[in-house]
A and B are shown apart, each in its own frame.
Chain A
Amino acid sequence: MSNVESSLRPALILGDKTLHDITEDVCRPIEDKPNKYWWMAFGLASAIFLWWLLAVTYTIGTGLGVWGLNKTVGWAWDITNFVWWVGIGHAGTLISAILLLFRQKWRLSINRSAEAMTIFAVICAASFIVVHMGRPWVAYWPFPFANQFGSLWINFNSPLVWDVFAISTYFSVSLVFWYTGLIPDFAIVRDRAKTKARKFWYTILSFGWVGSAKNWQRFEEVSLVLAGLATPLVLSVHSVVSMDFATSLVPGWHTTIFPPYFVAGAIFSGFAMVQTLLLITRKVLNLEEYITIYHIDMMNRIILITGSIVGCAYLTEFFIAWYSGVEYEQYAFINRATGPYWWAYWSMMTCNVISPQLMWSSKLRKNLFMTFFLSIIVNIGMWFERFVIIVTSLHRDYVPSSWTMFHPTWVEIGLFIGSLGLFFVPFLLFTRFFPVIAMSELKTILKSSGSQSKKGATHE
Chain B
Amino acid sequence: MQNNLNYTFPNKLKTLSFIMMAIGAVAIAAGFATHHEQTWANIMHNNFYFLAIALGGLFFYAVQYAAEVGWSVYVIRIPLAMSQFLWVSGIIMLIIFLAAGHHIWHWTHHELFVETLPDGKPNPEYDEILAGKSAYLNVPFFLIRMVLYFVIWYGFAHLLRKHASAEDMSGAGEHYQRSRKLSIVFLVLFAVTSSTSAWDFVMSIDSHWFSTLFGWYTFAGIFISSLAVMALIIVYLRKQGYLQHLNENHLHDVGKFMFAFSIFWTYLWFAQFMLIWYANLPEEVTYFMVRQDYYKTLFIVNFLINFILPFLILMTRDSKRKLLLLTLLGTTLFIGHWIDTFLMVIPGVMNEHWTIGVFEIGTTIGFMGLFIFVVFNALSKLSLLPTRHPMLAESEHFTL
CB distance from A21 to the nearest CB of B (A): 27
Whether the Cβ atoms of B275 and A249 lie closer than 8 Å is no
Does A256 lie within 8 Å of B398, measured CB to CB?
no
**A5 near B394 (CB under 8 angstroms)?**
yes
Give B92 Cβ to nearest chain A Cβ, in Å. Answer: 26
Complex CA–CA separation, A313 to B191 (angstroms): 11
Q: What 0/1 pattern do residues 307 to 320 of A give for CB contact below 8 A with B?
A: 01100110011001
Tell me the bound Cα distance from A395 to B274 in angstroms: 27
Q: Which residues of A contact B128 (CB under 8 A)?
A: 325
Kindly supply a per-residue 1/0 record for chain B positions 257-269, scoring 1 wherever the CB is within 8 Å of any chain A CB and 0 otherwise. Answer: 0001001000110
Known: A6-B390, A235-B267, A325-B132. A247 touches B397 (CB 8 A): no
Q: Does A239 contact B (CB under 8 A)?
A: yes
B390→A2 contact, CB < 8 A: no
Task: Identify which of B199, B256, B272 contacts A256 (C-beta below 8 A).
Answer: B272
Q: Does A7 contact B (CB under 8 A)?
A: yes
Q: Bound complex: CA of A5 vs CA of B393, how far in Å?
A: 7
- A326 at the B interface (CB under 8 A): yes
> Is B279 located at the chain interface by the 8 A CB criterion?
yes
**Is B304 interfacial (CB 8 A cutoff)?**
no
Q: Please determine whether A260 and B271 come into contact, CB atoms closer than 8 angstroms.
A: yes
Check if A254 sits within 8 Å of B281, measured CB to CB. yes
Q: Please, what's the 1-or-0 string for B264-292, where 1 marks a CB less than 8 Å from any CB in chain A?
A: 00011001101110110101000000000
Is B101 on the interface with A (CB-CB < 8 A)? no
Q: List chain B residues, Cβ under 8 A from A326.
A: 283
Q: Let me know if B279 and A249 touch, CB within 8 A.
A: yes
Q: Which of B263, B268, B274, B397 contacts A2 (CB 8 A)?
A: B397
- Interface contact A257-B191, CB-CB below 8 Å: no
Which chain B residues (96-144) contact chain A, with CB distance < 8 Å? 128-129, 132-133, 136
Q: Which residues of B contact A135 (CB under 8 A)?
A: none
Q: Digit string of A253-269 for contact with B (CB within 8 Å is 1, else 0)?
A: 01111111000000000
Contact partner of B212 (CB less than 8 A), chosen from A3, A101, A317, A325, is A317
B318 contacts A by Cβ under 8 Å: no
**0/1 per residue, A291-326, Cβ < 8 Å to B?**
000000000000000001100110011001001111
A8 B275 Cβ-Cβ under 8 A: no
Shortest CB distance B96–A (Å): 22
- Select A312's contact among B195, B256, B281, beta carbons within 8 Å: B195
Q: Give complex CA distance A257, B203 in Å.
A: 15
How close is B221's CB to chain A, nearest CB, in angstroms?
A: 14
> Which of B188, B191, B199, B275 touches A243 (beta carbons < 8 Å)?
B275
Within 8 A of B (CB), among A228-250: 232, 235, 239, 243, 246-249
Chain B residues whose C-beta falls within 8 Å of the C-beta of A324 in the assembled complex: 210, 283
- Chain A residue with the shortest CB-CB distance to B397: A4
Contact partners of A258 in chain B: CB under 8 A: 271, 275
Q: Which chain B residue lies CB-closest to A308?
A: B191
Q: Does B352 contact A (CB under 8 A)?
A: no
Interface residues of A (CB under 8 A from B): 1-9, 101, 103, 232, 235, 239, 243, 246-249, 254-260, 308-309, 312-313, 316-317, 320, 323-326, 460
List 6 additional A-B contacts (Cβ < 8 Å) besides A6-B390, A323-B210: A2-B399, A3-B397, A4-B393, A4-B394, A235-B267, A460-B177
